[in-house]
């Protein structure tokens, strides 16, 4: 149903990225997964996408966003996405080691969809990503289209 969903992962830790990708692949095999190593890269990509006028080229995106990122951090990325009329529809799932209560609150105030703290142990992390993958690949999941006008 959501074969056209592209999963964007903003993660600067190569080991974490591989682990996330591998475990998402078990459930989201049909989807493209793109990695961004810093906050500026993801913003550049999204702003370029936002300028796209050909609806055929507009995909359905979902963003997994770490907080500690070089150049522009995850909170700033979230803020910029949610301040844009079109990009704000992209579901942003925070996936981070930061577990401070204030940070969780701040991200929900900035309208992240969900906040997931990376489990410290390897197996816990794998299981968490698989649960996320199974959720994202639900048959009934309906993602927003960037191409459609606002209601």
Task: Point out which residues bind another protein (CB under 8 A).
Answer: 89, 91, 99, 101, 104-105, 108-109, 111, 113-117, 119, 127-128, 131-132, 134-135, 138-145, 148, 150-151
Which residue is it, tokens 């890269």?
Answer: 41
CB of 102 to another protein, least distance (A): 9
| Token pair belonging to 51 | 């300028």
Question: Would you list the DSSP string of 54-90?
Answer: -GGG--EEEEEE-SS-SSS-HHHHHHHHHTSTTGGGS
The Cα 63–Cα 74 span in angstroms is 11
**Toward another protein, which CB reaches closer, 38 or 130?**
130
**Toward another protein, which CB reaches closer, 34 or 104?**
104
**Toward another protein, which CB reaches closer, 39 or 133?**
133
């Amino acid at each position: 149903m959501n074969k056209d969903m592209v999963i964007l992962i903003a993660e600067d830790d190569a080991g974490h990225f591989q682990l996330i990708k591998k475990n998402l692949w078990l459930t989201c095999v049909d989807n493209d997964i793109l990695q961004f190593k810093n906050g500026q890269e993801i913003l550049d990509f999204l702003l370029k996408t936002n300028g796209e006028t050909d609806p055929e080229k507009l995909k359905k995106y979902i963003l997994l966003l770490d907080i500690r990122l070089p150049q522009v951090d995850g909170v700033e990325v979230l803020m910029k996405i949610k301040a844009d009329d079109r990009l704000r529809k992209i579901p942003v799932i925070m996936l981070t080691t930061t577990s401070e209560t204030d940070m969780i609150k701040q991200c929900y105030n900035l309208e992240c969809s969900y906040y997931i703290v990376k489990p410290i142990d390897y197996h816990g992390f794998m299981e968490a990503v698989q649960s996320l993958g199974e959720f994202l690949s639900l048959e009934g999941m309906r993602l927003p289209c960037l191409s459609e006008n606002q209601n």
